[in-house]
Amino acid sequence: MDLNKLNRPDSAQNQGITGKQSNPILPEGLVSKINSLNNRTTANRLYAGYNNHNNWMQTASIDYAEIIKFFNEVIKDKETQNELFYSLHNICVNRLNAMFTAFGVFNEQSSYINLKIIDKIGSTFTSRILINGHGTPVENSFKSKQIIFNPDSDFLNIHYLTSSGVGIIPLCSADKCSGVFLVGDTNFESSAEIYKLMANYLALFVQNKELSAKVMLNTHTDALTNLNNHRKFQEILAQELDKANRTDTKTSIVIFDINNISQINKDFGPAKGDEIIKIVADKIKQNVRNNDTAARYGGDEIAIILPETDSADAKYLAEYLTYALSCCLVDDVGPIKVSVGIATYPDATKDQEKLLILAEQAMYISKSKGYKNGMSTIVSSEDFDFWDDMALSSFASIIAKRHSQIGINFDEELVTKFHNEEIISQNHLIEVVTSLASAIDAKDEYTKGHSSSVSRYSEALARALNLPEKDVERIKLGALLHDIGKIGIPENVLRKPSKLTDEEWEIMKQHPIIGAEKVLRPNESLHDLIPMVKYHHEHWDGTGYPEKLKGEEIPLNARIVSVADAYHALISDRPYRKGLSVEKACEILKLGAGIHWDERLVRAFISIAPSLATKI
């Protein structure tokens, strides 16, 4: 049962900004072009939905002179690309009725553009566009240095932006294209001159920042340790992985994290922490080969690139170094302790960024395992199951804290891993599905444990109906996955404690279809679970969603999950109310019988409800 629209306080409305002043940086002739543009009628609905035909139109009168004045005001004093992009985004969505904007700079080393995408309600996404000759709209615009309009945004792989056309403007300055600026606006052409002005200014800004960075970058060496810095490490790693690919050899990454450095700095001062970091760096330099590369990877992390080295040999070196470091006694601190993570190319992955993520993930797991017989537990990416709770938690932490800017999305990685998982037994399937459902529940702090509870209640109801054991097991599994589509819903919508706006509600209502089509449909063995996921929010009287099915048009297994879902929602605490008692929840189910839910199923569930735990 969706209670997102019930019993929540109304949220505040944003305030607009006005003003009238000419813009001194306008190109000659632009004002006359803009003034000649007519007011337009534009789609101003945030979310048309996945196969949703309930779009609505809003007439918007756009004052272009006012927008130019506002543009001139907001671009002043911007120091970073992100600050400028956010300002331009606000103009596009609040003044020009755009649905979303995106900005990305070309990475010459890896040949891709990392797009940062912000939609109308402020949800942020990333999408990595490879410049590899596949002819995507972004690639075509970037290479041709021409503006391209695409009638949809499917190529961005953001589930609920598919209804909007997209204008793609290359960021060109001094005959060099540094990236792209995207505007989700079906009526892009009407405001093209304004959008081009924004893109031109953004291109100049990016070029100036790049020139400043080149002036400032006069060394590839970390000043404290005299090791390579992070930038140089990434360059060398790219070269070594290319060499490993050509020679069909293995390359391992070892990341050392110095434990308790923050506490040491707090207790004894930063100088003591620097002393320890230098000792670790020196010890590593003394014990690596000439063709190995050591670098300061982070504040208290040192990484080594080991060409022509498999995981076993990398572990051997790591064990020796951790032992050697444990013999280094530091005044007031004692022996130096480290956590160690290893990942090996190509065994773990062939992708450079994912290789580093896996090494960091292994290091996080090493830190969680602590010490055995006074020594660190050295962990390789081969040593843990992706679906283990600790592995999932550490993976999510790394993506969120360090790698979200490079186009790797935790939710998409989960779905990809789920599709590629080789299921060896029914128990293995249940374990993977349970972990996946738990990861999705964790996106909403108010619904942790919801999926497992709905699965348990659905199983109990199915048994009360004397359904065959085979059907009971599939209902149990489908109920675990009933909310899996929330993997495609922005967290600022899922976690919003106040009442959802109409636009946010349209987004929320897409989760059954996203779950059915994006998560389950690619896996043929799970096709029979699709009705439970897709139709568990249909109502008996035909007022539900997504297809307004009525009565027995709704599959029985979906009706079972619907009752179980509603019951758990009623007895669970929410930010806007405390969970209801079993008696009160059953009373509400009775009132909704024959309206929201199948009356026969409600009677059967009420008879078993007292035997179920009231809260999880």
What's the pLDDT score for residue 475? 95
Question: What confidence category does residue 127 fall into, taking pLDDT thresholds of 50, 70 and 90?
Answer: confident
* Res 122: pLDDT: 86
Q: Walk me through the domains of the chain, giving residue ranges and CATH numbers.
A: 30-216 (3.30.450.40), 230-397 (3.30.70.270), 410-611 (1.10.3210.10)
Whether the predicted pLDDT of 398 surpasses 60: yes
Q: Is 583 exposed, middle or buried (0-12, 13-18, 19+ CB in 10 A)?
A: exposed
Q: According to the model, what pLDDT value does residue 292 have?
A: 95
Which of these, 340, 362, 359, lies nearest to 351 by C-alpha position?
Answer: 359
pLDDT of residue 38 exceeding 60? no
pLDDT at position 43, please? 34
How would you list the strands of the sheet with 301-307, edge to edge? Answer: 293-298, 301-307, 251-258, 338-345, 378-380
**Band of the pLDDT at 576, cuts 50, 70, 90?**
low
CA distance 377 to 366: 5
Which one has a higher pLDDT value, 36 or 407?
A: 407
Higher pLDDT, 354 or 406: 354
Residue in 37, 42, 61 with CA at minimum distance from that of residue 187: 42
Quote the CA–CA distance of 607 and 593 in Å, as a whole number. 14
pLDDT, tens digit, 9 for 90 and up, residues 565-575 = 999 999 987 76
3-state secondary structure of 123: coil
Band of pLDDT at residue 142, cut at 50, 70 and 90: very high
C-alpha 458/C-alpha 477 separation (Å) is 10
pTM of the model: 0.60
Here the tokens at position 382 are 């081969």
Average pLDDT, the chain: 82
pLDDT at 48: 33
Q: For residue 124, name the pLDDT band (cuts at 50, 70, 90).
A: confident
Which residue bears the tokens 């949800």? 123
Going by pLDDT thresholds of 50, 70 and 90, the confidence category of residue 408 is: low
**pLDDT for the residue numbered 516:** 92
Q: Is residue 320 pLDDT above 80, yes or no?
A: yes
Q: Which residues pair with 171 in a beta bridge?
A: 179
Q: Would you state the pLDDT for residue 58?
A: 40
Under the banding of pLDDT at 50, 70 and 90, the label for residue 472 is very high
Kindly state the helix (H) or strand (E) to which residue 340 belongs, with its residue range. Answer: strand 338-345
First to last CA, the chain: 17
Helix 389-398 and helix 352-369, axial crossing angle in degrees, nearest 10: 130
Dihedral over alpha carbons 494, 498, 501, 506 (to 10 degrees): 30
Identify which has the larger pLDDT, 199 or 376. Answer: 199
Mean pLDDT of 212-240: 83
Among 41-45, 152-156, 313-317, 574-578, name the most confident range. 313-317
Q: Give 163 or 350, the one with higher predicted confidence.
A: 350
Average pLDDT score over residue span 76-83? 84
Question: What is the C-alpha separation between 277 and 134, in angstroms, rounded?
Answer: 45
Of the candidates 237, 490, 222, the one whose C-alpha atom is nearest the C-alpha of residue 357 is 237
**Residue 162, pLDDT score:** 59
**Residue 523 — very low, low, confident or very high, per pLDDT cuts 50/70/90?**
confident
The pLDDT score that the predictor gives to residue 47 is 32
Residue type, 438: S
Name the pLDDT band for 598 (thresholds 50, 70, 90): very high
Q: What is the pLDDT averaged over residues 206-232?
A: 80
Select the more confidently predicted residue: 12 or 425: 425
Give the residue among 251, 268, 287, 380 at the shortest CA–CA distance from 332: 268
pLDDT digit string, tens, across residues 328-379: 989 888 899 999 999 999 998 898 888 998 899 899 889 888 766 667 789 9
At 227 the pLDDT is 92
Residue 218: per-residue pLDDT: 55
Q: Are 358 and 343 in contact (CB under 8 A)?
A: yes
Q: Among 1-15, 232-246, 351-365, which stretch is predicted with the lowest mean pLDDT?
A: 1-15
- Residues 267-295 pLDDT 10s: 888 899 999 999 999 999 999 998 999 99
Whether the pLDDT of residue 32 is over 80: the answer is no
User: Which pLDDT score, from 0 to 100, does residue 56 have?
Assistant: 34
Nearest CA to 301 among 220, 385, 400, 222?
Answer: 222
Q: Are 234 and 109 in contact (CB under 8 A)?
A: yes
